[in-house]
Amino acid sequence: TSRGGRADILISLGRIAWEKNLDLVLQGFIILLKDCPDVKMVIAGEGPARKHYIESVREMGMADRILFPGFVKDEELAQYYAACDAFTLASKFETQGLVVLEAMAAGKPVSAINYRALKEIVSDGHNGYLFQDDASSWAEATQKALSAPEGVRKAARLTAAPPEGFSEFPIS
């Protein structure tokens, strides 16, 4: 899939730490590329595991497909959400899932692990897509997010928007 001649952009944003389950995302990305050969991924953020993952991506031969821009300032977050086609989060340690709500507020389809706070926010097939702690499951949910219909995008916005939703993020 590509939109208007450009590759689909998938984003993961947050602290790059071991508990964020990025190994699952990288394994799943290899599977995703079989069906979506043009997709690119941005793993934005800083953290203790960043250098490890940059090296892993280089060893996988994916340095041209998976980018690590580093820390994103609060005032730049909206630009990242606007630039992506879908958002993913595999962390099993999220108690609030704020980045998922920010992506939803921007009308972006999300794929999120079916765990803790994320399973409370994401309703599979309605406002996003849930996956199990499995690379194939991640790839399937993320492919659905990348090609999500407008109804899912609209439901995502409504989830994150007041008064019914969770947050006070402005809808773009």
- pTM here is 0.90
Question: For position 3, what pLDDT does the model report?
Answer: 52
Question: For position 166, what pLDDT does the model report?
Answer: 52
CA distances from 165 to 16, 60, 121, 152 (A): 28, 40, 10, 15
The string of DSSP codes covering 59-74 is: HTT-TTTEEEEE---G
Per-position pLDDT tens, the chain of length 172: 445 567 899 999 999 999 999 999 999 999 999 999 999 999 999 999 999 999 999 999 999 999 999 999 999 999 999 999 999 999 998 888 899 999 999 999 999 999 999 999 999 999 999 999 999 999 999 999 999 999 999 999 999 875 544 555 555 4
CA 74 distance to own-chain centroid? 17
Question: For position 4, what pLDDT does the model report?
Answer: 58
* Angstrom distance (rounded) from CA 111 to CA 127: 10
Question: For position 6, what pLDDT does the model report?
Answer: 76
CB 164 within 8 A of CB 158: yes
